[in-house]
Amino acid sequence: MARTIRFPLLAITVVSLSCWTGARHVASAADQTDRPPLVLPDLIHEALARNPELVAARKQWEAVTKRVTAALSLEDPILSVHWWNVPQSFNLGRAENTIIGLSQAFPFPGKLVLREQVARRSAEIAEQALRAKERELIVRLKQAYYDLFLARKAIQIHHEQVQLLRQFVEVANAKFRAGTGSQADVLKAHVELSLLHQQRPVLEQRRETAAALLNTIMARDPLSPLGVPQEPPLMTLGVTIDDLSSLALNARPELKAAELAVQQHEHSYALAQRQYYPDFNVQVQRFQNVQANDGFGAYVAMTIPFAFWTKSKYEANVQEAAASVEAARAQRRTLENLTRFQVKDLLARIRANEQVARLYHTTILPQAAQNLEAARVGYRAGKGGILNLIDAQRTWQRFHEEYYRVLVEREHRLAELEQVIGVDLSGRSEEGRNGHESQ
């Protein structure tokens, strides 16, 4: 008698917990559904305008561009005054000679232009660093966006499984009351339902984390409400590896920066060679004499960089600049090789994800749905056990979660590929089926 009393109490407790959790989910789902959809291009536009990392990179680029004007400018002129034969009383007005001079240093022709070219390449490198930071931010935003979609989809699938298991509980209870089922089947169904409820807090935490990350990337409050992210379509990337490699080698910001670095070091090398040529200093003077006529004078001076006791430092500068050129060229080749590998690797991963997702969509998910329906009909008819039904339900849930995980994985890799080639590929995909229809 004690066993028959304990079982209804357990059933009532589990059912109450199920109803309470289900009510929470319905309220949460209704709240999320009422919000406007999250449109990815709009989020990208907002992030590019507001993200503080990009603001800092943009200001850094603006700061470096100011160096171009400075590099092309001459050194400050020098104003000088000389007093000769000043009396012992230090009365400067009684000096026999006063010389007022204005001098200006002029580098050897070509040096200023080379300095300007070096500074201009630095500014262009900073600009490409900004473009690379933009691509990096877009990748992070897209991945956070689809992570939020996956977290929400996992909660939706979980809710569907809860509703399905409640049906199993009702069927098991009905069979038990009719004497055609066992109490063990009812308990197994209740335990499985409780296990599902145990998963809910983890799923909620994943959704909250994904939403907070997306808000942070867009420079919003991490707790700001978000709408519903759109489901990624089941598509095939319609470009070849040769096309992608060509795009990457011509458009990737990091490669452009590497090429600019080579040019910068080549200009630095040419400038180092120019240091063998003298610089000049020109001065115009005005003479004021006490015992002679006033007059004007001038002088021209030049450096002697080819003196044997100073020539070695210029030779060292040239050797250093030459080594820097070779290092920059090697870094460029390394990045080119890495880019080709990344394109090949990411494209292979995308192709694999597309094939797996299509297999799930066309074969595995329909078969899992048929298996679940057959197990449900068989259990109602007394031709199968509750374990078969629960196993079919678990399989259906796992395959659905895996299908959406593969879709999101494909979007992650596609975003990384877009970062590598420096071009948006959203218009280069061929759509097979727009999304997934519920099985």
pLDDT tens digits in sequence order for the chain, 439 residues long: 333 334 443 444 344 444 444 444 444 444 455 677 899 999 999 999 999 999 999 999 999 999 999 898 889 999 988 776 666 566 666 667 777 889 999 999 999 999 999 999 999 999 999 999 999 999 999 999 999 999 999 999 999 988 888 888 888 888 778 777 678 878 887 888 888 888 899 999 999 999 999 999 999 999 999 999 999 988 889 899 999 999 999 999 999 999 999 999 999 999 999 999 999 999 998 877 767 677 788 889 998 888 888 888 899 999 999 999 999 999 999 999 999 999 999 999 999 999 999 999 999 999 999 999 998 888 887 777 788 888 888 899 999 999 999 999 999 999 999 999 999 987 666 655 444 443 3
C-alpha span between 232 and 377 (Å, rounded)? 34
CA distances from 369 to 361, 373, 398 (A): 11, 6, 12
Q: Are 318 and 269 spatial neighbours (Cβ–Cβ below 8 Å)?
A: yes
What residues form DSSP beta bridges with 284? 102, 298
Question: What pLDDT, on a 0 to 100 scale, did the predictor assign at position 87?
Answer: 66
Q: What one-character-per-residue DSSP string does 151-171 give? A: HHHHHHHHHHHHHHHHHHHHH
Question: What pLDDT, on a 0 to 100 scale, did the predictor assign at position 232?
Answer: 92
**Start-to-end C-alpha separation, the chain:** 44
Kindly give, in sequence order, each residue whose CB lies less than 8 Å from that of residue 174, ignoring residues fewer than 6 positions away.
181
CATH at residue 50: 1.20.1600.10
C-alpha span between 153 and 206 (Å, rounded)? 11
C-alpha span between 395 and 388 (Å, rounded)? 11
C-alpha span between 224 and 211 (Å, rounded)? 8
- Burial of 34-67, coded b for 16+ CB within 10 Å and e otherwise, reads eeeebebeebbeebeeebeebeebbeebeebbeb
Question: What pLDDT, on a 0 to 100 scale, did the predictor assign at position 198?
Answer: 87
In this structure, is residue 368 part of a structural domain?
Answer: yes
Question: What pLDDT, on a 0 to 100 scale, did the predictor assign at position 431?
Answer: 56
Q: Are 425 and 411 spatial neighbours (Cβ–Cβ below 8 Å)?
A: no
Length of the chain in residues, anyone? 439
3 state DSSP class of 235 = strand
In this structure, is residue 328 part of a structural domain?
Answer: yes
Nearest CA-CA partner of 51 in 123, 136, 122 = 136
3 state DSSP class of 19 = helix
C-alpha span between 188 and 390 (Å, rounded)? 9
| φ, ψ of residue 392 in degrees (nearest 5) | -65, -40
In this structure, is residue 19 part of a structural domain?
Answer: no
Radius of gyration in angstroms for the set of CA atoms belonging to the chain, rounded to a whole number = 38
In this structure, is residue 20 part of a structural domain?
Answer: no
In this structure, is residue 152 part of a structural domain?
Answer: yes
Question: What pLDDT, on a 0 to 100 scale, did the predictor assign at position 6?
Answer: 40
Q: Are 47 and 217 spatial neighbours (Cβ–Cβ below 8 Å)?
A: yes
Cβ-count burial of 142 within 10 angstroms (0-12 exposed, 13-18 middle, 19+ buried)?
buried
Q: Are 433 and 231 spatial neighbours (Cβ–Cβ below 8 Å)?
A: no
The structural domain count of the chain equals 1
In this structure, is residue 265 part of a structural domain?
Answer: yes
Order of all β-strands in the sheet with 78-84: 78-84, 97-106, 280-289, 295-302
Range of the domain at 175: 38-420
Q: Are 185 and 386 spatial neighbours (Cβ–Cβ below 8 Å)?
A: yes
Q: What angle do CA 94, 97, 102 make, to 5 degrees?
A: 125
Question: What pLDDT, on a 0 to 100 scale, did the predictor assign at position 174?
Answer: 81
C-alpha span between 302 and 439 (Å, rounded)? 87
Question: What pLDDT, on a 0 to 100 scale, did the predictor assign at position 27?
Answer: 44
Question: What pLDDT, on a 0 to 100 scale, did the predictor assign at position 430?
Answer: 60
C-alpha span between 154 and 400 (Å, rounded)? 9
C-alpha span between 402 and 177 (Å, rounded)? 37
Nearest CA-CA partner of 322 in 254, 282, 377, 273 = 273
In this structure, is residue 26 part of a structural domain?
Answer: no
Q: Are 217 and 140 spatial neighbours (Cβ–Cβ below 8 Å)?
A: yes
In this structure, is residue 15 part of a structural domain?
Answer: no
Q: Are 232 and 401 spatial neighbours (Cβ–Cβ below 8 Å)?
A: no
Q: For residue 323, give the amino acid letter.
A: A
Question: What pLDDT, on a 0 to 100 scale, did the predictor assign at position 195?
Answer: 84
Nearest CA-CA partner of 322 in 276, 278, 279, 262 = 262
Cβ-count burial of 73 within 10 angstroms (0-12 exposed, 13-18 middle, 19+ buried)?
exposed
